[in-house]
Amino acid sequence: MLISASFSASAFQSDTSAYQTQRLRINALLAERSAKFGQYDESLNARTGIFGFQTKNDIRNSNEILRQIVLNDNNIFKELKTLMEYKDLEVTAIKTNADQTNSRIQNYMLAIKKLQDQNQELRAEAKALEKSKSFSNTVIILLILSITGLVWFFTKKIKGIFLTKADEKNIF
């Protein structure tokens, strides 16, 4: 059980590491987009033509930078999709771990309840055995006293019979 917990922890940590790596990629792409957008803004202000007008090359350069921004945005969306998939995997892993933990807790609680019930039954049995033992001891003591009393009674009776017979023989 400890081994499986360490495996799930290392898997979770690698997922978190992949998530962090993915975030760094997206941050790099966003920084690149900001830089390209700055270049685009500069290219819109660039006027290399006669009398300070924009030339076709200026417009093409601006359009190329804008195209690179759009391609970069597409890459950002792809990376964001991957990041969201990582996040979904992490949520699923956490939910699965929580469900397993709850299941183990429920099993432990059932085991504890079962052991408590067994303990109660055993205590009831022990109490019944103690009562039975106490009753048996009382019966044995009463039997011993009865037998002792009977032996004493019959011993006196037999002595009394022998004494009376001996007295009868002496009298005659």
Short-list 3, 65, 56, 9, CA closest to 32: 65
> Is residue 138 a part of any domain in this protein?
no
Q: What is the pLDDT along the chain (172 residues), one digit of tens a residue?
A: 444 444 444 544 556 788 889 899 999 999 999 999 888 888 888 777 776 677 888 888 889 999 999 999 999 999 999 999 988 988 999 999 999 999 999 999 999 999 999 999 999 999 998 888 888 888 899 999 999 999 998 888 888 777 776 666 665 5
Domain contains 151: no
Inside any domain, residue 108: yes
Count of structural domains, the chain: 1
Whether 162 maps to a domain, the answer reads: no
Q: Is 29 among the domain residues?
A: yes
Model pTM score: 0.51
Which residue range(s) make up the domain with 106? Answer: 2-131
Cα separation, 72 vs 66, whole angstroms: 10
d(CA 44, CA 121) in angstroms, rounded, equals 89
Domain assignment present for residue 47? The answer is yes
Domain-located, residue 163: no
CA distances from 58 to 63, 68, 72, 97, 155 (A): 9, 15, 21, 58, 142
Contact 36, 69 (CB under 8 A): yes
In a domain, 148, yes or no: no
